[in-house]
Structure 1
């Protein structure tokens, strides 16, 4: 259990230190899932039940999303999640408007959370 928690903290640190790098793509060892990943390295099977539930809800609400990542950052208890979404639906919207869209889509799930870290970005539809 301790080694799993330590590994998870290392994964979170790695993500935070590499965020913002356009050339970096999270792979399945960090339990990421990207709909735009042609290699298929995003492995939805590695997600926890809570992560899968949120992932499905997000993909239903944002079907044209080019990147979706959901991570339970509470050590597996489902109290806090980190979610990254890149979608053309966010084009022309300010960050607060993008976050409101996600909050509305996950309103029922958010009621049971202690915290939520959101990272949203408008994707280029010309790719």
Structure 2
């Protein structure tokens, strides 16, 4: 499995969630275990489960490069 750097993940999330506040942390220091926090108007009216689904959908195949992903979503 290939890995993705923190900087690459931030760039991708910024492209997928423009005008959002995004924080990414490599929690294991291995470019394979991440904690992300996204504050976005895109989550308005969505349940927490649907917010997380939206993140996974927008990441698409990228999720194959990440072993563990902790997601925190916040609606503006």
Distance 2:66 2:14 in 1: 20
Matched, 1:64 2:19: yes
Matched, 1:119 2:75: no
The Cα RMSD (Å) is 1.3
Superposed displacement of residue 74, structure 1: 1.4
Q: Residue deviations 1:77-112, cap 9 Å, x none?
A: 111100000001101100111111111122222102
Paired residues for 1:16-27 under 5 Å: none
Radius of gyration: which is bigger? 1
Equivalent position of 2:8 in the other structure: 53
| Bigger Cα displacement from structure 2, 94-103 vs 108-117 | 108-117
Matched, 1:73 2:27: yes
Of structures 1 and 2, the one scoring higher in RCO (CA 8 A, sep 6+) is: 2
Superposed displacement of residue 70, structure 1: 0.6
Distance 1:74 1:113 in 2: 12
Unpaired runs of at least 5, structure 1: 1-48
Q: How many residues align?
A: 73
Equivalent position of 1:82 in the other structure: 35
Unpaired runs of at least 5, structure 2: none
TM-score, structure 1 length as denominator?
Answer: 0.54
Q: CA contact under 8 A between 1:57 and 1:105: conserved in structure 2?
A: no
